[in-house]
Structure 1
Amino acid sequence: MSDPTRTYLEFERPLAELEAKIEELETLARGNGEDAPDVAEETAKLRQKAADQLAQIYGQLDPWRKTQVARHPDRPHFREYRKALIEDFEELSGDRRFSEDAAIIGGLGRFRGQSVVVIGHEKGHDTQSRLHHNFGMARPEGYRKAIRLMDMAEKFDLPVLTFVDTAGAYPGLGAEERGQSEAIARSTERCLTLGTPLVSVITGEGGSGGAVALASANVVMMLEHSIYSVISPEGCASILWKDSTRAKDAAVAMKITAEDLTALKIVDKVIPEPVGGAHRNTHVTLKSVGDAIEASLRDLSGLSPAQLKLQRRERFLAIGRMEMGDL
């Protein structure tokens, strides 16, 4: 049965029309009961056509369309990952300096039987929660909270899992007055110096230093239709061409997709999404992310603190490095 509450992106309009027709036929059949016309065959044909169209659309997404999918309002956010993957979660709030920042949530829990510290951006799922979480755009307090949690993880020898989904750090006046850039830099530094395994997953948008501050990890993974960039395509277009409507051109030029970033050695692994994106089958997406995290933790489990730091250092120094054969 099709979902009448589903949000469709602009390029999904033909698919929306097909699925609306399927819903109409199913409603007609239910309303007429036993006297309903035989619509099963027609519905089956429409379903197959919709499935084929969905596969075709998502099999050839350009960087701009991937950007739209990464921002999809129905895409699973941190709260879904936390509920599905982390048991006995105990949230720890505050940076012990200024206040609590709801854009970044963190705490202790168990991931498939293993104690971990988990940290993630939360965008919210409706108007009220989005305002509460500031659309996932953290202030300095959020990054200082992340540092505090990473300090605790190292003290108790716990792996750290981070889930990144933010358009960027909050650029407000108050955030800048309280040292936004310094907080981001220190959070990035803490990631790099952490003596326990750190695994990061870009689940939606990985925007600017606000993302790097939680994603300077031993292993950085991305969902198939996520993006990771130094600035938004709209921001890049505004700076380069003084025209934000050229965001599509910027998205192509910036190499923000998982495939591009894997080739550039910025991302280690791409986690496949269900056909139609993570929002069309959240259960499968959550399991795939959990399996990828488990495999990464297993690979890192035998490394000493010194080896983890060295591996992380070498990983980031390798970004952009060219071999003699590439010249």
Structure 2
Amino acid sequence: MIKSWSDLQNQPTVARIVTNSLERNRIAHAYLLDGMKGTGKKEVSYLFAKSLLCKDLQGVNPCQSCSNCKRIDSRNHPDVHVVEPDGNSIKKQQIQFLQEEFTKTGLESKRKIYIIDHADKMTTNAANSLLKFLEEPNQETFAFLLTENVNQMLNTIISRCQPLSFRALTSEGLVAKLTAEDIPLPLAKSAASLTNSLEEAVELCRDDWFALARSLVIKLYEAIFNRPQASLLFIQEKWMPHFSDRKQLEIGLDLMLFIYKDMLYAQLSKEEQLVFVDEKELIQKLALQTTQQRVTEQLSYILQSKSRLASNVNPHLLMEQLALNLQEGY
């Protein structure tokens, strides 16, 4: 959890803009937090809310121990309102309810804060209602609009907000954060290849299913090279029971893609880019048994399978056909 603005090392521009605003007491009435999932937008909005409401501010940083800070952490502060999509969208009624709440006097202080998560999912009517709200801001009202798709928002809303752009974590940065959480490097590199979100990556690495998924990918990869006749039985008995739904199978195919990319990296003497770092010796050995052209073809087969998975193909047949395609030439 981000406890102070100095903790925001991955978003230095955001940290600088916010701390400068707090130090000079020149705080905008509305901020637009834009960036990919997992870049810390929601955490920053809550930290900002605490900096605005903390009873014992330490410079620009909240104390984290007063009643206001604790209630913001537990999401039950009466003057901090959060709006999230109701189903697939944020409705006009939700914005109207927010406006009604803000006509009342703040219960704890004069300041009132609202956070709109996935602001790009507002309906047209909801967006127009919010626009009126933004056009006539109360002196002590502060808005935080969070979005992953700023292009889906009204330009008139964007123009009335102070932009805070969040950059995605690099794969290397994500791996560093995961290993700092005592997550083994092989798991960290695999998870960082699947997502840019620290939260999602940690969840994957803490899940025994994911560790077994990696193990099954390695076993299938080795079987395709060394025991091709056994690979179809392996898919039936081990692979399909573990990758039992399409989302799980997509992860399995992604991991297959990474291990074949690793073989290409080994052929190009770029071992530092390996995802399956714990299988370096096996990958180097098998890379010597094939050509770059053949590995490129195999990567193409896996990508085709990922594409076919999006349509209504039989997952079992898809995997069997992929195994046969990957075995060609051995």
Does TM-score exceed 0.5, indicating one fold? no
- The normalised TM-score by structure 2 is 0.27
Normalised TM-score (structure 1): 0.27
